[in-house]
Structure 1
Amino acid sequence: MSAKDPSTTHVMAAAAEISPAPTLANVRGFVFDIDGTLALADKRLNGYQALPGACELLALLRERGIPHVGFTNGSTKTPQQLSQALTQIGIELDPQHTLTPVSVAVDLFSRRRYKRILVLGGEGVWKPLVEAGFDVVRSPARADDADAVLIGWHPDFALGDLEAACRAVWAGAAFYTVSKAAVVASREGRALGISGALAAAVGSVTGKKAVVVGKPSAQALVCASGRLGGLKPAQMAIVGDDISLENAMALRSGAMSVGVHTGLSSAEDFARLPVASRPHLSISGVDRLLEMLR
């Protein structure tokens, strides 16, 4: 994150204007996590099933004209593919309001005027960058002249991928990962978060620390704000199941944090946090949020 990035500065400065205890009455837009919040998939992050209340809640927000986005830290699918998969199960989110960390990377890399990107990852990682006009090289092909390296979902990684990334970073490429989350919620329990493990491997060789573009980064909040029409953090509710992702992003920025118990974190997990680190609302699931908004 660059302190000179004007869009980041705008959103973070807005956090200083918040009241100490945000409530739903102040919320003008919602950022929803997907896995463990709106839906659950299998361990390969396919075969989504909607969680109770998710379809009805988004329908209510559409009816009332309240802006909202779905924001996953996963990168198995492009926003278009994820939008289609969710719409098929009744969770209607158009591609413009379906965000992945690569959505953030596209915005950030454009602002930083990067041109050539080395990608470790599948279609969900490289395709949005290609569509945005970047010169994308996919590991294990080498790109020692790359402006940046981006690591995403890459379950079939091999030694050649690691070597390509390390050589690009050694040559001066900026180093990014979609997420450092160790696990993600699925119907089969906790699924491994691959990008963080790969970033740690590259970091152990190069001595460089990967910058996270997904949640809970300030850049992720900048991207979400843009898709919500420029809402300030104090006007947002960030809804999710992960203490270290959605809850952390909300509390750092001054947004309202709504923790749900349908994914990684239980009611007890949220309650064990220090008071200042707890979500403003800890609820059983988005079906309860639906009841509160009706």
Structure 2
Amino acid sequence: MPALTHGNLSATPLQDFVLVGFEGGPETQALLFAVILALYTVTVLGNLTMIVVITLDAHLHSPMYFFLRNLSFLDLCYSSAIAPQTLANFFSSSKAITFACCASQFFFFSFFGTTEVLLLAVMAYDRFMAICSPLRYPVTMCPSVCARLVLVCYCGGLFNTSMQTSFTFSLPFCGSNRINHFFCDVPPLLQLACTDTALNELVMFGLCGLFIVGTMAVILISYGYITVTILRMHSGTGRHKLFSTCGSHMTAVALFYGTAFVMYAQPGAVESMDQGKVISVFYTLVIPMLNPLIYSLRNKDVKEALRRLGQKHTGP
């Protein structure tokens, strides 16, 4: 390939990257491998369980569980875009990843991650309609509307990842090929570009800020109305149940949005990749593992569905 010239520097475009991953000796690496493997295993088992249970149990065929099933699918997909490669790199001496594989990894991670951000806003709107407008809920959130809302989420995810991938991987990478991260992501890749990346950073902060702030506004407004409605209830048991559910949802949302905002939607993220690795572990591995527990497995309906499925397979 022809050489690229940047000022007085002439260099050959990179064909492969090296994922630096986590620092530390053999014992630290073995511990990190075990932790990541455990997190990913629980993530796969938990989210697959939710998908199977919601699909097979007719009692869970409602809008809320339709969205939860899609959430489990997205958690499974975007953690799978990262974890297998990360685990394999612990046994690789070179830790190399091709340019095409790096772009593909980022594309799918960004696609599923952005789609989940939008889906969390849709789920908050669903709870708002169910609690604040229960009489209109069956019409407002009919199956066709739910399907269209999920489709909009996927289209939004595709738009964001297409923009981010095209802007990032069209840059000339002709310096170091060592990505100071455990997967291919925009902030560490921008550090390797041998050209001005101000436009790329603006696009990243702009798009991510738009998605994160916009959807967070929908969530906060929805839960604000939900809180007011719950406080007006006369039943103490009902208030406690709804507050418990909403509190669990808001905990998951705060963790996901907080880590995403720190990484992508505020200046200075590109220069702090050591801290970024720790933050990234949370939204790529920890949160997808926790979501089935926070959203569903603590839910009485899901527990009863698991019991019914168990009796069906163990009964005479």
Same fold, TM-score > 0.5, yes or no: no
Query: Which structure's CA Rg is the greater one?
Result: 2
Superposition TM-score, scaled by structure 1 size: 0.26
TM-score normalised by L of structure 2? 0.25
Q: Which has the higher helix share?
A: 2
Which structure's residues are more often strand, by fraction? 1
